[in-house]
Amino acid sequence: MELLGNLMLVFVAGLITALATGIGALPFFLVDEVSDRWNVALWGLASGIMVSASVFGLIFEGISSANGGSISGVAIGMLVGVALVVVSHHVISGAEVSPKKYEEADFKKLVLILGILTVHSFPEGVAIGVSFAELNFGNIEGIALLGFFIPLLAVFMTVAISIHNIPEGVAISIPLRSMGVSKWRMVWWSIFSSLPQPVGAVIAFYFVRIARDFLPIGFGFAAGAMIYLVASEFIPEALEVGEGLPGGGHRELLSGLTAGVLLMVPLAFI
């Protein structure tokens, strides 16, 4: 019963991050579109948050883990995480569609587009699950809530990924808006794209609980996957959106990155 309760808590944490993606559609209840300048800044914010969470949360925790933490274990995990994302990209590379073509997309293509985004959201769920690895262990820093003793790292990662998911929701909603999709459906499709996160969180949590020796590798895996996603997708996406801005959007991207890092670094050292 204790394991079931733990799994339910981890699932809820992953679900919270998925629901946060729907927040990205809410601006369209107030305005018809989000400017390119704000879109670039939001992608930069998401990138800064994810890199900070990966470095100051997952990597540091993997190296200092009381359960045999090591630099080599984290490094191996990071390489595996990067490899998984690269393979995933290769598998779906022929299916990727330019956002400029979304306006002509039919329902099947829309499902395909959202499926691609769904594949990309899975590593974030893994990061949440790994961060809960020491759930209910009283010898770590954490907070007591509803009968659970939750590691501070888990709180940190859940907050970080939730904040990061908001600009992803905006990015998903922009093409949907151009297709005439209703506002509440934009909220739903945004959430739908992140639904693998609670699933990935439960799988990762269960694995690292039964295979404690692999915990540093698990931390590295989640960090490597997320950092690579930032480098290969978030930043290029931001620069593509900002091509028409003065300076190519670099100023907005840098501002967002800086804000993301400044936002998350203090939380990492609470």
Contact 59, 223 (CB under 8 A): yes
pLDDT of residue 106: 53
pLDDT at position 91 is 65
Here the tokens at position 168 are 């992803």
Which pair of tokens denotes residue 222?
Answer: 């989640």
The pLDDT of residue 102 is 44
Query: How many angstroms separate the Cα of 43 from the Cα of each of 94, 226, 251, 255, 259?
Result: 24, 14, 12, 10, 11
Instruction: Judge whether 74 and 220 are in contact, CB under 8 Å.
Output: yes
In tens digits, the chain (270 residues) has pLDDT values of: 677 888 899 999 999 999 999 998 888 888 777 778 888 888 888 888 888 888 887 888 778 765 555 788 888 889 988 887 787 777 666 554 444 444 445 555 555 555 565 566 777 888 888 888 877 776 666 777 777 888 888 888 898 888 878 877 887 787 777 677 788 888 988 888 788 889 889 988 888 887 777 778 888 888 888 888 888 878 888 888 888 888 888 888 899 899 888 887 776 665
Nearest to 77 by CA among 130, 121, 156: 130
Number of domains in the chain: 1
pLDDT of residue 126: 83
Which residues span the domain enclosing 222?
Answer: 2-268
Amino acid present at 87:
V
Closest CA to 181 of 121, 241, 114, 242: 114
Partners of 172 in beta bridges = none
* This prediction's pTM: 0.74
Which of 206, 183, 21, 221 is closest to 118 using CA atoms? 21
